Amino acid sequence: MSGIDVALLVVAASFVMGLLRVALGPTLADRALAVDLCLFCVIAALALLSVRLATPTFVDVVLVTTVVGFVATVSLARLIHRGEDR
């Protein structure tokens, strides 16, 4: 088992823990952070698979997904912050 395989297992475990936090999170902010963690676990898994398979195909997907995830995180943070002001 190579180091990349071990890293994929760690990322998968982090994803599962993030899903548990989405289901059990007491506040909306906890759930939003857990969804963000899950998204970046998927991005990390795609990047690791790109290295493991020695194909640059996933690199474009990783870049686009990272930008979309960042914009979604900022938007969700603004939505949560706006809800606290009321």
pLDDT of res. 84: 64
- What are the residue ranges in the chain where pLDDT is below 70? 84-86
Is 37 within 8 Å of 76 (Cβ atoms)?
A: no
pLDDT of res. 85: 60
- Distance, in Å, from the CA atom of 49 to the CA atom of 45, rounded to the nearest integer, reads 6
For residue 67, give the 3-state DSSP assignment: helix
pLDDT of res. 25: 85
pLDDT of res. 81: 83
Q: Which domains does the chain have, with CATH numbers?
A: 3-85 (1.10.287.3510)
Is 38 within 8 Å of 44 (Cβ atoms)?
A: no
pLDDT of res. 82: 82
